[in-house]
Structure 1
């Protein structure tokens, strides 16, 4: 049984009930030890150990597996050619390819949750209002906590968030979606701008489709509906 899953471009990893890792697909290897969370990227994986340290493995092009030191991390997010992690003090740290500013999170902004895309942008939900000074940084909302801040690739508007407040954000290839902190509905921007009704407990966006889990455990998906993104029988489609 698993307590957390993460799907990358061609592999999937999960944290089991006993806190060990399992990965399958194109990249099956997983290090031993106990873990709190795992994030599968395009060709690499990063995980958060039980002690709050970061471990990354797989393709190390651009140095995306050269994780920072320290035992004060609370979340990891593996992107395409870069990786990010969130420290206990709310500050994000990224490493790897920075050609689009994706490894340069805004300075001094405290986040409660972050995510990284396979194509070169990252976003986070803030703890409180803060000035955005990072490269390619942009901010949503009216200055209150729970705004979405994005940095990196913005060719399709994926790093230009809508007004918040939000409580969770997910970065897809060319789009971003977030759950409203007001009514739990989804808002999406970038190449995929359509949003589902909700309300949602959690959501995730991929290349051209998104799915959300409702408060009743039901599943709603929207966008492209071919192949693996089709909703399984017995689940709800928005």
Structure 2
């Protein structure tokens, strides 16, 4: 089944280039060119992923992402101006699954899309029905439904957050280095100055804390992160 992708960018020439390449790679693609059209379009059609530019006419990309995350966990790849680290970090904080600097290489975009779709179950995992559940203490994850909870609280994780927490929980009690977290959970090697793992972990910690669980994900100096089972569980 072809994955449906929505491109949101006011650069129509770039959209045509990306759409042509994505279609050649087996994606169904639709493009809109202003922020005010994006959310109604996402609500109108069932898309598997969104490629979202930050700078848009009308509603800005970060505002679209913020609104989208109130009700949806659809994978989102942000397009950011090269060198704008602040935009990337804010995008990740708001729930973006990944980012690419503009101008982006269509081949790299395809690789990133396939990675986020695999992580979300939107590609290659379709048709699997067997529930794969893992847990550590009161924290539970179901890979079939992509749901995570702590106690009676749903954690409402994004695709990237789910995969990071699943990896940490599966190796509870052991430190997992950032390179492994990036490769296995985010689908790409860790690059210099890449803070994606740290930003996602920070968000997971906040969601666990809101569910009454603090200090479950600990930093291991010089290594990475470790999931520690709640001593009271």
TM-score, normalisation: structure 2:
0.26
TM-score, normalisation: structure 1:
0.26
Larger Rg, first or second structure (1 or 2): 2
Structure number with higher helix proportion: 2
Structure number with higher strand proportion: 1
